């Protein structure tokens, strides 16, 4: 038996940015996204850029394996302005 171990594979990650504006009744509605991003750093940059143009924006990530239906707990990367409660 070999003593060498295979390197740990990183779990696939879902990284998303969504921006919101208020409708005529004052409710927050998504106006951008949810848009999947390639990296957490890019998601944060995108969210910061959108934050000056919209009522609110959120960038978040979670470990995800959609083919198996497995999703980890979400981690907030950036929040700017008003965003709805994310369940």
Provide the whole-model pTM.
0.80
Q: Where are the strands (E) in 1-87, listed by range?
A: 13-22, 28-36, 56-65, 70-71, 75-81
Which conformational region is residue 39 in: left (phi greater than 0), alpha (psi within -120 to 50 degrees), or beta? beta
| Each residue's pLDDT tens digit, 31-77 | 999 999 999 999 999 999 999 999 999 999 999 877 777 888 999 99
Task: Spell out the domain ranges in the chain.
Answer: 11-79
Residue 87 has what pLDDT?
61
Q: pLDDT class for 5, splitting at 50, 70, 90?
A: very low
How far is Cα 29 from Cα 8, in angstroms, rounded to an integer? Answer: 40
Q: Which residues contact 3 (CB under 8 A, 6 or more apart)?
A: none
């Amino acid at each position: 038996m070999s003593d060498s171990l295979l390197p740990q594979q990183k779990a696939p990650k879902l990284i998303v940015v969504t921006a919101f504006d208020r409708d005529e009744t004052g409710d927050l509605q998504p106006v951008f996204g949810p848009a999947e991003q390639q990296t957490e750093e890019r998601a944060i940059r995108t969210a910061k850029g959108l934050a000056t143009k919209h009522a609110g924006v959120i960038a978040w990530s979670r470990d995800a394996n959609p083919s198996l239906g497995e999703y980890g707990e979400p981690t907030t990367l950036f929040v700017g302005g008003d965003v709805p409660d994310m369940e």
